[in-house]
Structure 1
C-alpha cells in the first residue's frame, strides 16, 4: 500500500494528535522532563518533513542548516513554548536566494500549529558577539542539528562556536552573570516569593540554565573544546540540581497545560491544584499545598546556591591590585578554614567535626559578609549528623549566636546556616517556619525569609538613605541589650509554624525552651518575652486614632518602658517593611514615627490633647498665621475642634492650603484639590457637613473605577469637613487621559453639591467595573471598642475589599443614624481594614445601637459579595 504523501494538513493532524497524546501521558505520569523531550522529538521530525516539503521544487539541497537553539536545542520544549529555530546560511547570497524558502518554512510551522521563533544568520554572522543581543550567542550554547546541510552545521559546531566562546569567554560569562543579577534584583534577590514565577524568579529554571551555561563555559575553557555529552546534555551537574530540574520542569508543564499558554506563575490556585495532583513529587496522589511549596523552595534553594556560587567564581572583568590581594589564601585562626577571594573554604584533608569552629566561621560571615565555597557547603552538609551530637549549649552557644546576630551581615549568615541545616540544629524551634507559606494576599515572602528580611532591615539602618530611615536609625544606638532585641526578631514569628492560635503567644512558648538552653536569667527572658508577645501591638495601634489620648494610654500601658518602646518601634518598622517591597509607605512610616513620639511623650507625662483648642495651644495658630495674615478669626474657627491626628500629620503649608479652600466656600461650596502621590492619586474634599457626604464621595470614586486605598475624614467644631482619599486608578483613566481629570473633579462636585444623582452615575458605569475573583476569601469581622475614645464609639470593619465597599458602609452609618466623626481607611492586599469613630445624638452608641449597626453592616457587605 502506497503511503499517503506529505502535506501540511497531514502534518497538522499528526501534530495535533501527538500533542493530545503528550498531554494525556503527562496527566497520567506527571513526568515533565520526559514530556519535554518527547515534544522536542516530535517537533524535530515535523521540521524535517516541512523542510523537505519546502524544497520539493528545488533539485539541489541548499547550503542551509536548520539548527534548534534555546529550549528546543536543549530538548526542553514545554507545551506552549516557542520553537526556536535558526536557519544558518553559508553566505549572504544563499540567504538572499533562499529567502522565500525560509519564509515559507516559517509560515508552514505556524500553519501546522507551532509557535515559530525563527532567526536567520550567515555562518560569518555567527562568529561574533553582539553586545545588544547576547541572548543569541547564549542560545547557540544549546544548539542541535535538525535538518539541511550537515557539513555546514559541523563547521558551526566544531570550528566557529568553540573558537568564539574561547575568544569571548569573559564577555559572555560576565554579561550572562550581569543579566542574572539584574533579574534577581527585580525579584528582590530572594527565592521565597509566595507566588513565584518558576522560570524567572531566583532559583527558577532560568537560573538552572545559567548554571548549565557557566558550567559548560568553564569546561570549554579547561578542555579547549566542547566537553563530551552526558546523556542528553553537555553539562556536568550535581544530582540534586537534576532533581530540582525534574520538579521545576513538571511544575512548568503543569502550568502550561493548566492555563493553555506560556504562563509560569505559581499563583495560589495553581499551587492548590499542583499539590492535589502531587506534580513533581515521587508519590502520586494528593499533597498538602504547604508541603508542596516547601518542596519547591527546597529545589529553588539548590538551584540558587549553585548559580550564585558559579557567578561568584567568575574572575573580575578587570583584575585590580585589590582583587589580586584578595586571592591570597589566609588561614582562619582556630579552624581548618582559609579565606581566598572573599570565600571561606576547607583543605581537602581537613575533617568537619568541630561545631565550635563552624560557629566561628558563621560569626566571620556575619561580621564581614564572606561566602562559603561550594566545597565547604557540601562538606558541612555531609557532616551534619556528627555536628548534631556535639552542638554546644549554654553561655558558649549564646556568645556565638549573639555575635552572629549583631554582625552587619547577620541575615546573610543566618540564611546560609538555615540552608545548610545548622540553624535548626541550634534552634529546632525555627524548623516549623522553614519555607512556610502564610496566605493572606499581603505578605510577599515565606515566614523564614520574612524573618531574615526583618533582621536585614534593622542592620540597614546603620547606613540610612531616606529621611524617615534616618529618624528610625537614631533609636538603634539607644537600645539596651541589642542582642536580646535581635533574638526576639529571630523568634517573633516561629509560632506561625503551629498554624492555629495566637502566633505571638505561641512564639513566646517556643522561645522558652531556647531560653533554658541558653541559660538566660529572669530579666533576659522577660525582655525577649515582652517584645515577642507585643510585636503586633504597635501595628494594631496604627489602626486607631493615634492622637487620641485613650489610644496612647492603652498602648503605653502595654509597652511599659522607653526601652521597650524603642525596640517595639524598630521591630514594627522592620516587620512592616519585610512584608513586601512597597508595604512600608512614607505615610505609614510617618504615622509609626508619630505614634512613637506621642507614646514617648505620654511615658514622660507629656500627653497630647485629643482635639485642638487655640486658647490652650496658640503655637500652631501663630505658625499658620505667619503665612496667612489678616485672617486670625477665620483661622481660629477652622482649627477649633480639629483632631490632633489631622494637625500633626499635615505640614503648616498643607493646613494653610486647606484653610484657603475654606475661605473659598462662599464662592463654591465644594472645594477640591487633586494630585498624584507616587503610585496613588489623591483628592481632598472640603465642604460643609451633610448626611451621606462620605458615602457619596466614596460612590463617585467607585463609579469611576477607582480603588480606595487610604482615606481619612475629619471635621471641626463648626461642621467643616476635611476628607482625604488616596486611590489607585486600575484602568489608567486619568493617567492616559489627562483631560479627564477636570471632568472627574466636576462629577465629584456635582454629586456632592446635589446637582447630580450618585445612583445615576453608578448605574451608568458599574457594568464595566467588575473585579476578578479574590485570591483569598476574607470573612467579614465587625468589632466595637467603647474605651478607645472618651466621646465616640469605635467600630473596626475587616472585610474583603470589593468595589463600593466604603460607600455601602457609610450609607449604613447614615441609615442607622450614626454621625461619622473620624475615619481611618486602610487596605492590605485584598483586605479592607477600616476604622470609624461614631456618635449618635452627640454621644457614644449604646449596646442595642451597636448590635443594630453590626447586623446592618453585615447585610450590606454580604450584598456586595453576592
Structure 2
C-alpha cells in the first residue's frame, strides 16, 4: 500500500534529478528557482493529500507552511538546506508533530537536509524581536501553502511590532554580525581558498544588502534595490551576473563533493576549472583563469555591499570621530550629511578632470570614504584619463602623495575597483584579478602589489617594531618615492604572456615612468628594482651566504649602497605581502644577515669597486678574444662561476688555459697541469706540498680556488701569491 505522500516524493525525486542533469549540461539557467519550485510543488501536494492536516482544523486554528532563508529567496542549490516554518495562528496543537513527520520524514529519507521550526504567531514575533538569527530568515520568508492570510499577518506584524519598534538595535546587531562574519571567514576577494557564502564578497554579503534594505526601506524584491535608487541599473545588472557565476560555482562544488560545502579548497579548484571548460591562454593555467574570474565576481559583490551600507549609513567599519570639514581643499568636491565624499556633479569633473585623482587624495586626508555615486562617476569618466592626463605633472604629484600616504592601500583599492588605476596605469589591465596558482602567493597580483605598498608604510611606521632594521633603513634612504613606485609596479610584468616577468616588468616600468616625466636616472633606478626584486631573496635562501664570494658577487651586481637599501626594503615588503610561505623567521634572518654582509662589502669597496669591476670586464673581453669560436659558448657558461678574487689575481692567458683544462676534463674525474719550479722559486714548498708547509704550519702564499660550474663541480687551482 502506498504511503500518502509517496507519489509526491517520487515526483520530487524525478524532477530534481532531471533539473540537476540539465544544469550540469548547461541547459538550466534558472536552476535555483526551479529547484525551489519543485520543493514547493511537493509541499503543496503533500498538504492537499495530508491525512493529518484535516484533523488540525485549519479554519479554527489557521496554519501555514512557509519557506525561510535561501529556500525563501528561491536560491536552492543542489545540496542547500530546506528551511521551513510551520506557523500556527494560535497555540501549536498536539497534532503538529504528526503533520511534520508526515511531510518531512520522506524528504529525510531522500537525503535532504530539512530544518524546521514550529511556532505560534505570538511566539514567532517574540523570538524575532529578541534573536537576529530568527529574524533574518523570516525577512526572506515566502508563503508555500496553508492559510495565506496568516502569512500576511506575520509579515505585517513583523514590520509594525518588531522592525519599526526595534530598527536601531536590529541594525546595530546586524552590523556586529557582519563584522564578526568577515573577521571569521576573511575577504574572499583576496583569499585563494574563498568561502563562497560567508566570506566578504560571498553570497551572505548580498543577503545582508537585502536585509538592510528591508529594515530601512521595506524592500520586497531584489529588484527594488534599483527601483529605490540604492544602486544603479547597470550596477544591478552587474551584481546579477556576479551572483549567477558564484551560484553556478557553488552548485558545481556541491555536486562535486556530494554534499553542502562552501569553502573552495585547492583540491577542487582544478576540477571546477575543467568543468567550466577553461583552457590555457595568455600564459595562464585554466585554474588561474577560473579563480581570476571568480575573484572578480566576488570583489564586485563586496564592493556593492560596501557601497550600499555606506549609502544607508550602516557601515560596520566606520564610526566618524571628528567633525566634518566646513570646506574642502578641492573645488568641485562635497561631503554628504552622512560623511561620504562625492563630486559636486558630473559637470565638475568635465570642468576639472584632475578631480578624478584629487578625490582619492582628499579621501585619505579627511578619512572620508567615497560615496557610491562618486565611484560611479569615476568609473564613467575614466575615458578622460588619456596620455595627457597621465603625464600631467600635477596629476603625477597627486598620485605620488597618495602612494606615500601611510594609508595608501585604502585609496589604491578604491582606484582599482573604480577602474581609475587601470586607466592611469594601463599595464594594470593584464594583472587585474590575475591569480598565481602556487603555494606562496595569497593574493591576486593586483592586490598583492597594493599590499606591498602598504607593508612598506606599516613597517616604516609605529607598527614596524618587528622589523627595526627596515624602519632604520627606510629613514636613511633618500628616494622613498622611487621605492613605493617600485612596490606598486614590481610584478607588472606578470601581465605579459611569455618570458621572465622581472625583465618584462622592468621594460614596462621604463615606459610608464618616462611617460610620467621621470628623469632617466630615476627611471633606471625603478627599472633596476623591478628587474632584481627576486635576486636578494633567491640568493639568501639558495646560496651559502657565509661564503665571502657570494656577498662580493651580489655587491658587483648592485654596486650602489642606496640601491641595495632600496632593494632590501622592497624584498622584505614583497615577501611579507606574498604570505607566510615566502616570509618567516628563517627567511627574515637569512635576508637580514646577507644584506649586512653585502652592504659591508660595498662600503669597504673590496673586490666590488668600480676599478675592480672594470678590471674584471677587461679580462673578460681578453679571455673571449683569445678563445676560438667553438670555445666561446663553453666559456660563456663557465665565466659567471669564477670568483672576483680569482679573476683579479689571475692573468687573462692563464684563465684561458684553465678554462681549456676544464674543457678537456670530459667524463674523467680529474684533469691537471704540472708547472715545474726552480729551486730558487720562492714558492717551491707551496707548490710541492700545498697550502701547508713542511712544518705543518699554514702557508699564506697559496690561494686555493674551487669553482662550481653550472653542470659539474669545477676547477681546483693553487695560485701562488706574494710572500
Name the TM tier (shorter chain): 0.7 to 0.9
Distance apart, 1:487 and its partner CA: 0.7
Aligned partner (choices 517, 520, 523) of residue 521 of structure 2: 523
- Counterpart Cα distance in 2 of 1:485 and 1:360: 22
- Counterpart Cα distance in 2 of 1:323 and 1:444: 33
Match of 1:211 in 2: 209
Query: How well do the aligned residues superpose, as a CA RMSD in angstroms?
Result: 3.8
- Counterpart Cα distance in 1 of 2:568 and 2:314: 42
- Counterpart Cα distance in 2 of 1:384 and 1:849: 53
Distance apart, 1:312 and its partner CA: 3.2
Q: Does 1:352 align with 2:349?
A: yes
Task: Kindly indicate which of the two structures has a greater share of residues assigned to strand.
Answer: 1
Match of 1:590 in 2: 589
Match of 1:580 in 2: 579
Question: Tell me, what secondary structure is at the counterpart of 2:442?
Answer: coil
Which structure is larger by alpha-carbon Rg, 1 or 2?
Answer: 2
Match of 1:605 in 2: 604
Question: Tell me, what secondary structure is at the counterpart of 2:354?
Answer: helix
Match of 1:637 in 2: none
Mapped contact 1:177–1:311 kept (Cα < 8 A): no
Mapped contact 2:458–2:464 kept (Cα < 8 A): no
Q: Does 1:258 align with 2:247?
A: no
- Counterpart Cα distance in 1 of 2:309 and 2:192: 26
Q: Which moved more, 1:150-159 or 1:288-297?
A: 288-297
- Counterpart Cα distance in 1 of 2:9 and 2:122: 35
Q: Does 1:28 align with 2:17?
A: no
Contiguous gaps of at least 5 residues in structure 2: 280-284, 607-637, 646-668, 670-703, 715-723
Match of 1:408 in 2: 406
Distance apart, 1:152 and its partner CA: 2.5
User: Residues 549, 257 of structure 1: CA spacing in aligned structure 2 closer, same or farther, 3 A cutoff?
Assistant: same
Mapped contact 1:40–1:76 kept (Cα < 8 A): yes
Aligned partner (choices 120, 123, 134) of residue 122 of structure 1: 120
Aligned partner (choices 15, 39, 42) of residue 18 of structure 1: 15
Match of 2:306 in 1: 308
Match of 2:479 in 1: 481
Mapped contact 1:70–1:143 kept (Cα < 8 A): yes
Mapped contact 2:439–2:581 kept (Cα < 8 A): no
User: Residues 400, 117 of structure 1: CA spacing in aligned structure 2 closer, same or farther, 3 A cutoff?
Assistant: same
Mapped contact 1:332–1:338 kept (Cα < 8 A): no
Distance apart, 1:504 and its partner CA: 0.8
Q: How many residues are treated as equivalent by the alignment?
A: 612
Match of 1:335 in 2: 332
Mapped contact 1:366–1:408 kept (Cα < 8 A): no
Q: Does 1:550 align with 2:549?
A: yes
Mapped contact 1:332–1:339 kept (Cα < 8 A): no
Q: How does 1:68-107 map to 2 (within 5 A)?
A: 68-91=67-90, 93-94=91-92, 98-107=96-105
Q: Deviations over 1:257-305 (max 9, x none)?
A: 2322223344566555555555899xxxxx9555444433332222111
Mapped contact 2:452–2:487 kept (Cα < 8 A): yes
Match of 1:564 in 2: 563
User: Residues 151, 408 of structure 1: CA spacing in aligned structure 2 closer, same or farther, 3 A cutoff?
Assistant: same
User: Residues 232, 848 of structure 1: CA spacing in aligned structure 2 closer, same or farther, 3 A cutoff?
Assistant: closer
User: Residues 6, 462 of structure 1: CA spacing in aligned structure 2 closer, same or farther, 3 A cutoff?
Assistant: same
- Counterpart Cα distance in 2 of 1:340 and 1:157: 32
Mapped contact 1:195–1:266 kept (Cα < 8 A): yes
- Counterpart Cα distance in 2 of 1:466 and 1:521: 32
Question: Tell me, what secondary structure is at the counterpart of 2:586?
Answer: helix
Q: Does 1:48 align with 2:47?
A: no
Match of 2:658 in 1: none
User: Residues 480, 25 of structure 1: CA spacing in aligned structure 2 closer, same or farther, 3 A cutoff?
Assistant: same
Q: How does 1:301-700 map to 2 (within 5 A)?
A: 301-315=299-313, 325-326=323-324, 330-338=327-335, 341-348=338-345, 350-353=347-350, 354-388=352-386, 391-465=389-463, 467-543=465-541, 544-580=543-579, 583-605=582-604
- Counterpart Cα distance in 2 of 1:408 and 1:604: 31
Match of 2:632 in 1: none
Q: Deviations over 1:679-702 (max 9, x none)?
A: xxxxxxxxxxxxxxxxxxxxxxxx
Q: Deviations over 1:294-345 (max 9, x none)?
A: 4333322221111112333454799x9965833x664443334446544211
Q: Which moved more, 1:77-86 or 1:226-235?
A: 226-235
User: Residues 573, 324 of structure 1: CA spacing in aligned structure 2 closer, same or farther, 3 A cutoff?
Assistant: closer
Q: Deviations over 1:429-451 (max 9, x none)?
A: 22111111122232111110110
Distance apart, 1:54 and its partner CA: 5.7
Q: Deviations over 1:108-136 (max 9, x none)?
A: 32023321122233322322467995222
Mapped contact 2:23–2:31 kept (Cα < 8 A): yes
Mapped contact 2:332–2:349 kept (Cα < 8 A): no
Q: Deviations over 1:506-539 (max 9, x none)?
A: 1011112112211222211121122111110111
Mapped contact 1:67–1:88 kept (Cα < 8 A): yes
- Counterpart Cα distance in 1 of 2:385 and 2:408: 21
- Counterpart Cα distance in 2 of 1:290 and 1:207: 24
Match of 2:141 in 1: 143
- Counterpart Cα distance in 1 of 2:713 and 2:313: 71
- Counterpart Cα distance in 2 of 1:360 and 1:312: 21
Distance apart, 1:55 and its partner CA: 1.6
- Counterpart Cα distance in 1 of 2:315 and 2:114: 36
Q: How does 1:786-801 map to 2 (within 5 A)?
A: none
- Counterpart Cα distance in 2 of 1:293 and 1:249: 14
